[in-house]
A and B are shown apart, each in its own frame.
Chain A
Amino acid sequence: MRKNSHRVPAIECVNLTKKFGDLTAVDHISFEVKEGEIFGLLGPNGAGKTTTIRMLTTVLPPTEGTAIIAGHDVVKESDRVREKIGVILQLPALDWFLSVYDNFDIYGRIQGVPKKERKERIDYLIKEFGLEEKEKTKIELLSGGLERRVQVARAFIPEHEVLFLDEPTLGLDPQSRLKVWDLVREHSKDGETIVITTHNMDEADALCDRIGIIDQGKIIALDSPKALKDRLGGGDIIKIDVEGDSKYIEQEISKLDRVRNLGGLALQVENADQILPDLTQFIGSKGGKIKNISVRKPTLEDVFIKLTGREIR
């Protein structure tokens, strides 16, 4: 049984589905997230990540299926659900003509954070995200990354039971990105459940306890990052770029038995050092001109490519 099976699930989705006319944006997905867990939704553009979050945050009614957040149904008890959640949207969602401080303050008010606590948290977060000098600046005068900082930072003013982050680190510099990771870990330690969507494989790998890989509205794999990578069976990945059309070379390489092509000449091998000389010679003999070779350990990206046959971006 699961390690944390004594805990109640913070999120429980069963056959959650959303159709927009003919398009099925989210297709019968089911998953559970445990209390205090950091859960990642990973998938390419248009996979249905934002639509899933919109249903879980009660702003979009599901076409089919149910979702329970912290013990409450997102349709029947949406008021109760909204009291327990927070969300960072993919859209800016800031008040353009108001100052940075006002945006923090109004967010805190709307979330119902009492005055004294609100002020303390805002001062703390503004300092943490290096926004002191911009406190009085209107949002419209900020750079895109600073805007995102404001939007992300203010989500940490209140305490939630479940916090949804839709690509929170998109557009952030490395330092702010790490800050977000720290905060996410901190809040998860305090028992907050975090759902995070991202295209960034490293982020998902570093941060998430478990990851659901979502493609064309379906969850095609769900496990811990390590278990997902182990599915590839270890070894090394050799990525080769050749000049011109690689189709023919790919065809030829698929005939070798010590090499497994994950797609797009990302080759999985048992030991890169041993096979590399033979491999370059083989490609040369088939008329391929190598532009670039890189060797690395398997990543979630390889898992994704293997599952879908496509690169994530």
Chain B
Amino acid sequence: MMKGLRSLYYREMRIWSRTYWMIVLSLSTPILYILLFGLAMTGLIQGIDYQGKEIDYLLFLLPGMIAMGIHGCGMNACWTLFMDRQMGTLEQILSSPVTRSAYGFGKILSVVTQSFIQVFLILVVGLPLVGKEISIANLPLLLFSAFLGGVCFCSFYMILASIIKTNDLLSTISTLIMMPMMFCSSMFYPLDMIPSTLRYLAYANPMTYIANTLRAGLIGSLSKQVSIELLVLCAFSIALFSASVLSLRRIRI
């Protein structure tokens, strides 16, 4: 079923590493958010209550920005899939001995790899900024959450790109989706600070669970609530992943 996965993963990573400026570029948005938005907000928000402790807003924001970075990696899959279809490389791959699922898996694995690198880089730049060290014991939770985040976003954007064939529609829709995805979530603020309508929307948004579990991995611990959130995130990942496999099976060149 996964024939050719290694070759396709190799291809994705090769393309990604050849466009190294994209790594820098995709890193700069979350970092800029921390520097500009984060610092501006620390003047407004004195401290934030998190898992019973009062913490700095910058520290609260950092895991949210990691989630944003992972989202950016997932979004790459949208464009590479679009380009593959546009250039004919998709047709070339679909007529070769590799399977369609392997093509999707290759993209997801490469997005997960990119996410890990992204997490690492944001931590390297971000941790000194907020003056915090990460505890090794929390690392598995952080990485697991980053993994699920990569699977979620990559699957979601592959579904989008396999349905929408035209460039302008695809970019309009993905920009449109990004707003609520970012602001109806716990990326920038704790959910009990926002109006209840927004809060309910946020509960339907995988970004919330990604940000929350990343946050627990970075500065909190695996509490009962975080465990439930992790389970919800698993459910989101499985659902989106299955849907993306189905949509790749039906994709037409």
Contact = CB atoms under 8 A, between A and B. Distances in A.
A89 B33 CA distance: 44
B15 A57 contact: no
16 contacts: A54-B91, A83-B97, A85-B95, A89-B88, A91-B91, A93-B87, A93-B91, A94-B87, A98-B14, A98-B18, A102-B14, A106-B7, A107-B92, A112-B4, A112-B7, A138-B18
A110 B98 contact: yes
Contact of A110 (B7, B88, B253): B7
A97 interface: yes
A138 B15 CA distance: 11
Interface in A83-106: 83, 85-87, 89-98, 102, 106
Contacts of B46: none
Interface of B: 3-4, 6-8, 10-11, 14-15, 18-19, 83, 87-89, 91-99, 252-253
Contacts of B93: 110
Given A82-B96, A85-B95, A97 B19 contact: yes
B14 A106 contact: yes
Contacts of A102: 14, 18
A109 interface: yes
Contacts of B89: 93-95
A89 B91 CA distance: 8
Contacts of B88: 89-93
B1 to A, nearest CB: 10
Scoring B6, B96, B99 by chain A CB atoms within 10 A of each residue's CB, the highest score goes to B96
Interface in A108-154: 109-112, 138
A89 B97 contact: no
A114 to B, nearest CB: 12
Contacts of A111: 96-97
A59 interface: yes
A165 to B, nearest CB: 13
Given A89-B91, A109-B6, 5 more contacts: A54-B91, A58-B94, A85-B95, A95-B14, A107-B92
A293 interface: no
A87 B98 CA distance: 14
Contacts of B92: 87, 89, 93, 107
Interface of A: 54, 57-60, 79, 82-83, 85-87, 89-98, 102, 106-107, 109-112, 138
Nearest to B88: A91
The 6 A-B residue pairs with the shortest CB-CB distance, nearest first, are: A91-B88, A93-B88, A109-B7, A57-B95, A93-B92, A83-B97
Nearest to B83: A96
B15 to A, nearest CB: 6
Nearest to A139: B87
Contacts of B11: 95, 106, 109-110
A300 B47 CA distance: 83
A110 B87 contact: no
Nearest to B253: A59
A60 B87 contact: no
A111 to B, nearest CB: 6
B12 to A, nearest CB: 10
A54 B99 CA distance: 17
Contacts of B14: 95, 98, 102, 106
Nearest to A138: B18
Contacts of A106: 7, 10-11, 14
A54 B10 contact: no
B144 to A, nearest CB: 30
A90 B88 CA distance: 8
Contacts of A90: 88
B93 to A, nearest CB: 6
Contacts of B252: 60
Contacts of A79: 97, 99
Nearest to B102: A110
